[in-house]
Chain A
Amino acid sequence: MGGSKSTSATSAEAEVFSLSASVAEMEAMAKKLRRHIVTMVGKAGSGHPGGSLSAVEIVTALYFKILRHKPLDPQWEDRDRFILSKGHAAPLLYATLAECGYFPVKELLTLRQMDSRLQGHTDRTITPGVEMSSGSLGQGLSFALGAALAGRVDGRGYRVYALLGDGECNEGQVWEAAMATAHYNVDNLTAVVDNNGQQIDGWNCDVMNLDPFVGKWQAFGWKVIEVDGHSISQLIDAFKEAQKVKGQPAVIIAHTVKGKGVSFMENNPDFHGKAPNAIEMELALKELE
């Protein structure tokens, strides 16, 4: 599977990450990332497996097929930006960045430990490849819009991607950002909602009903693309379709399952923010073989 070939960290030499992976290779990578997530959170003894597992295919498709990025030059000015707004899915982002070569895979096991570069929620000051300090929900779309507008002002061709939780869309700021993105006719930004239907206190519809969700985005001036969020090929098609939308922003509503891939975590709110114990970890890894 493609990777950055450069071994030097000097920015001029660092190569753009190869996006030649096949769908089958990306599916294998998704499984690998799930194993990392379960192991990292299990070893840390705390963390958020549910919302990390639900977004695995979304992030895999982005990093291995869509984003132009340089793992050995994370600050490359023309890179596409990925903003993880639902910062509790940090284990997924870290695992992906490590597999792309931003830092050693073995560092993943330091998650949440004292002095680790891998904080419980993302911290842009210490982790290579992390664009935004997150963990307080609702702020990522505004941040992404800022990056997109700056790119437009500077005439840079990069695109910005923001991943939001559906529960996160309870926050007013998300809709302030949605309004502003459409107002500025921003078309170099794609939002993705990990629409797993759950948040902490239960199902979205019981906690704070989002429906009509598609209608809301449309009413705010967005082009909406709905996909099966566990289908890599559907996701890739959706990202490519979104790139072609001009004069308005696009949002991909990815229908997903919280805890996807581990039977006893699927749709189980207990595993939103709870680590598997040793036995559960073993069971989960067996399912992910």
Chain B
Amino acid sequence: MVEEVSIREAYGKTLLELGMENQDIVALDADLSRSTMTRFFAREFPERFFECGIAEQNMIGIAAGMAAAGKIPFASTFAVFVPGRCFDQVRMSIAQPGLSVKLVTTHGGLSVGEDGTSHQSIEDLSLICSLPGFSVIVPADAIETTEAVKAAAATLGPFYIRLCRPKLPLVYSEDYQFKLGKAAMMRQGGDATIIAIGLMVKAALEAARNLEREGIYCRVLNMSTLKPIDEAAIIQAAAETGAIVTAEEHLEHGGLGSLVAQVVAKNRPVPMEFIAIKDTYAKSGKPSELLERYGLTDKDIERGVKSALKRKR
């Protein structure tokens, strides 16, 4: 059994660590510090933690003002509320001036589970990727989360890091080196490429393993930095494997699939398939049931690969 680790806890602990190293780091939350794990930071540095209450728009404004005054604010809540609840505040107060606010949101995607539609953030990546200047990261496990949070703290400019609620199996070892804007090759292969983010990276690896038994060799890329996207890795994958399948816990439109397709269409058209939520809202259910119902499993990826391969020239 692969060890499963909470990526929210990884965030909380990393933020605490960063807070010890750098006095300029401040944290904000909107009445969810128990869930987002900013509570660790809040306990240690009460004077640098700002509880904003259930007022996400205001939190974004405060964070932006702090960044303009030289702080490095980490603002957290559920992914469904940022950017959804406060899109224009994110747009005008953070993105347009290019301020160094680090938005780290949790409970992204369908895997939030039983809370249902209102809490399932399936549009956030589309919204946030539409904003010029934002760096957007969706980590695949706790180790990558730690690295991504550190990178966000160390890099100028606005960041959005989207985490999910369930614990995730580790796909990396401790020596993993996250590189902002670079896809990570998780598995070599020449027949097709699976490009995945978040908890779909593990599913992609499973799918690749299963397909190998049938003689289909897949490359697997973890595109954890969604923006700026690693165009070179995508073009190379298209050229060398001739078919691409994307996999994400998000609506089909506007997320990873759309971003990859744009690069592929412009540079090296190859058959593609998109493993994502079709144009619909989902419902309450267990995370695993939801992932299955809405077509986000290793089996769906396998079908996607086979379907793309049929059209490969």
Residues of chain A contacted by B54 (CB below 8 angstroms): 137-138, 167-168, 170-171, 199, 208
Task: Decide if B31 touches A113 in the complex (CB within 8 Å).
Answer: no
B115 touches A201 (CB 8 A): no
At the interface, yes or no: B267 with Cβ under 8 Å from chain A? no
In the complex, the chain A residue whose C-beta lies closest to that of B39 is A201
Closest to B118 in A: A135
Q: Is B184 an interface residue (CB 8 A)?
A: no
Interface residues of B in 264-310 (CB under 8 A from A): 283-286, 289-290, 293
Closest chain B CB from A29 CB (angstroms): 26
Given A136-B81, A207-B53, check contact A201 B284 (CB 8 Å): no
Query: In the bound complex, do residue A136 and residue B285 qualify as a contact, i.e. CB atoms below 8 Å apart?
Result: no
Tell me if B114 is interfacial: C-beta within 8 Å of chain A. yes
Are B81's CB and A200's CB within 8 A? no
Q: Quick check: B284 and A120 within 8 Å, CB to CB?
A: yes
- Find chain B residues with CB under 8 A from A87 CB: 118
Task: Judge if A289 is at the interface, Cβ distance under 8 Å.
Answer: no
Residues of B within 8 A of A199 (CB): 31, 53-54
B219 within 8 A of A: no
How many A residues are at the interface, by size bracket?
20 to 34
CA separation between A206 and B53, bound complex, in Å? 9
Cβ of B52 < 8 Å from any Cβ of A? yes
B33 on interface, CB distance cutoff 8 Å: yes
- Chain B interface category by residue count: 20 to 34
Q: How far is the CB of A258 from chain B (nearest CB, A)?
A: 14
Q: Using A113-B284, A116-B284 as known contacts, say yes or no to A121 and B31 having CB atoms under 8 A apart.
A: no
* List of B residues within 8 angstroms of A181 by Cβ: none
- Is A201 a contact partner of B51 (Cβ separation < 8 A)? yes
Give the Cβ gap from B178 to chain A, nearest Cβ, in Å: 30
A134 touches B118 (CB 8 A): yes
Most buried by A among B118, B289, B293: B118
Q: Are A119 and B116 interface neighbours, CB within 8 A?
A: yes
Give the chain A neighbours of B115 by CB distance below 8 A.
Answer: 46, 120-121, 135
Whether, in the assembled complex, B117 has its beta carbon less than 8 Å from a beta carbon of chain A, the answer is: yes
A41, chain B: closest CB distance, angstroms: 10
> Which residues in B have some Cβ–Cβ distance to A below 8 Å?
29, 31-35, 51-55, 57-58, 80-81, 85, 113-119, 283-286, 289-290, 293
Complex A-B: 15 CB contacts under 8 Å: A47-B114, A114-B285, A114-B289, A120-B114, A120-B284, A136-B80, A136-B85, A138-B54, A170-B52, A172-B55, A172-B58, A200-B31, A200-B35, A201-B32, A201-B33
